Structure 1
Amino acid sequence: MKLAHVSETFAVSPQLEPRDMGGLADAGFDAVICNRPDGEDPGQPTVASMREAAEVAGLAFHHIPVSGGEFPPVAIEAFAKVREEADGKVLAFCRTGTRSITLDALANVERQSAAERIERAERADYDLSALRDRLGE
């Protein structure tokens, strides 16, 4: 399991497996966000199996799927709500982690400038520089 810690309360990851949920709980995470639609790739765990494993591990599980490079306002708002209402650390995942960190940058829960969000993503090995205009100031 490869986690990229973006802040003290947020991390992203490429695709996880149900067996990873216990380790996330042990690492102090309270919530998991899946940003992949079901059936995106052959062999991908189903959302139902991920939700069940998360709940068994004591984690809140949220499914906010995005695809095709589209980040609709409803997804950004749902992502922000989970981040704002979480009692502790949140981990978001997708195929590579890029959609998850992009949603976080667009949601801007931590009220950072565009430059700060791009820099923080870069420290986590994600390049969001192409989003600079969309991220605002």
Structure 2
Amino acid sequence: MWPFSSSTEPKDKKVNFKNLDKDYAVSGQILPAQIPAIAAAGFKSIVCARPDNEDHGQPSFDEVAREAEKAGLQIVHVPVSGMVGQGAFMKFEQAMEQMPKPVLAYCRSGGRAASLYTMLKRA
């Protein structure tokens, strides 16, 4: 079940994420209401690898960003649709150089967020 499928308020505000290393973790779609839990988990920055309007009911990047900024988290939008393009990769690379760690990156399932990091480690 998608975390945003049935209501605007998640039943469980806990965020499920997978650490790829000590400074980078990935998750599926996050909700604005989950930002306090993300900050409490120690994350300092967020990368959104998901384009807006990919699925019905998905919160927009701006909605998530407003809550992230209120919580003192840096956030950047690096939307990836299909293959990771050079422009998206360059934006991600720059963000990873500048953003405080650890970083939580998300997309629909976490796959594109993980792919960006894998490409960065191979570069």
Q: TM-score range by the shorter chain?
A: 0.7 to 0.9
Q: Distance in 1 between matches of 2:114 and 2:63?
A: 23
Q: What's the counterpart of residue 76 of structure 1?
A: 89
Structure 2 residue 102 is the aligned partner of structure 1 residue 89: yes
Structure 1 contact 18–53 (Cα < 8 Å) conserved: yes
Work out whether 1:46 is the aligned partner of 2:60: yes
CA RMSD of aligned residues (A): 1.3
From the two aligned structures, give the one with the greater helix fraction.
1
Q: How big is the shift at 1:86? A: 2.0
Alignment of 1:19 with 2:33, yes or no, is yes
**Greater relative CO, 1 or 2 (CA 8 Å, sep 6+):** 2
Paired-residue identity, %: 36
Structure having the higher Rg: 1
Q: 1:106 aligned to 2:119?
A: yes
Residue 77 of structure 1 contacts residue 107 of structure 1 at CA under 8 Å; is this kept in 2? no
The runs of at least 4 consecutive aligned structure 1 residues that moved more than 2 Å come to none
Which blocks of at least 5 consecutive residues in structure 2 are unaligned?
1-14
String of CA shifts for 1:18-60, please: whole Å, max 9, x gaps.
Answer: 0111111111111101111110000000111011010111100
> TM-score of the superposition, structure 2-length normalised?
0.84
Unaligned runs of 5+ residues in structure 1 are 113-134
Query: For 1:64, which of 71, 75, 78 is the aligned residue?
Result: 78
Secondary structure, in 3 states, of the residue corresponding to 1:37?
coil
Aligned to 2:44: 30
